[in-house]
Chain A
């Protein structure tokens, strides 16, 4: 590895990020979790906080297309990345993303608190796998807890979204 002068520690970090299609430059505290950046700095409150342990997945967002738990990533670490939250899935014309539409139609949501994380993670799955099996959906969503639905309609929502997008092509 190349040896360079070590960077100076600082309490604030400049972050350049493309958030839901918009380029932003912000100065954030070094220890600010990405979830806090989204919720408190950018007022995108769709990403939720449910557990304090990095377990429940309600804070799932896409960083460079990959689903991650935004409570477990520092905002500073998103520098240079593309971040998509659940809000960013809604089209410019207010149209729901097909996955969002499927969750609503199939009733893969009840109280809605886990829903953003479920939707975002499902979008990631479908972008990689157009026709996932039930087992693959289970595995993808195993890090997203839901207490209301019992998961059946969530899995069906993803299946329906897959069928929709396939049929659309």
Chain B
């Protein structure tokens, strides 16, 4: 919108999708939460469905922008726009969401995990994301999203998403993603590997968090040096892992 406001866009035609009927749904189906392309951030935050199926999603979206922004912005839109410090792309990658794109040729479903690799999204110019599907978490699964902003309602400097799948107190699968630090969702497999196969106790969590910070490759800018951002991400990772573990019941 800022570009439209200043007439700095290169395109000639603006397509307004706000009149598409029945596209603002949030519903569960087959173990997934399906979010329609006109569901606003505010809708996701307030949704009981989301709260029950995958509370991290609603909590994370609640931190986007401010009330006014959340009343207009859509989750699918944010997934598509892939702002460098945006939260929905990190969530889509973390949960390996099914990103349902549609065009005149029909639907294509992209995997959240690979959608952002390589600096831009896989979305074609002819496609519109009509739905994003997040997994509903079950017993033994837990996730969390931590975020640090330099001031209220500013873009975050660093975000960390954590997902744990556990069994019998041990982590079977761990996923760690950073956001904002590197301008896109970044999978921290090495750090996740520290915790996978282990009990997520204090020391292991600290190790994994430290490893994440060491591996991160943030860009220095007006909001902080590389060192600062690395240190920050350790803290966010620690908090995210602790919360995810707690939610997974371990």
Q: Is there contact, CB below 8 Å, between B153 and A68? A: no
The secondary structure that dominates the A interface is mixed
Q: How far is the CA of A141 from the CA of B130 in the complex (A)?
A: 31
Chain B residues near A31: list those with CB within 8 A. Answer: 4, 7, 14
- Residue B222 is within 8 A (CB to CB) of chain A in the complex: no
- Residue A157 is within 8 A (CB to CB) of chain B in the complex: no
Q: A31-B14, A142-B153 are in contact. Are A67 and B67 (CB under 8 A)?
A: yes
- Residue A121 is within 8 A (CB to CB) of chain B in the complex: yes
- Residue A57 is within 8 A (CB to CB) of chain B in the complex: yes
| Interface size classification for chain A | 20 to 34
Chain B residues near A77: list those with CB within 8 A. Answer: 16, 18
- Residue of A with least CB distance to B102: A1
- Residue B47 is within 8 A (CB to CB) of chain A in the complex: no
Q: A74-B16, A76-B16 are in contact. Are A52 and B2 (CB under 8 A)?
A: yes
Q: Is there contact, CB below 8 Å, between B153 and A143? A: yes
Chain B residues near A54: list those with CB within 8 A. Answer: 1-2, 69
Cross-interface CB contact of B68 among A1, A33, A57, A74, cutoff 8 Å: A57
- Per the 8 Å Cβ criterion, residues 71-91 of A in contact with B are 71-74, 76-77
Q: How far is the CA of A124 from the CA of B66 in the complex (A)?
A: 14
Residue positions of B touching A, CB distance < 8 A: 1-2, 4-7, 12-14, 16, 18, 20, 23, 42, 65-69, 71-72, 102, 130, 152-153
For the complex with contacts A1-B102, A63-B71, A74-B16, 20 further pairs of A-B residues with Cβ separation under 8 Å are A9-B12, A9-B13, A33-B4, A33-B5, A57-B66, A60-B68, A67-B68, A68-B72, A69-B68, A69-B69, A69-B72, A71-B1, A72-B1, A74-B1, A77-B16, A121-B68, A140-B67, A142-B152, A143-B68, A144-B66
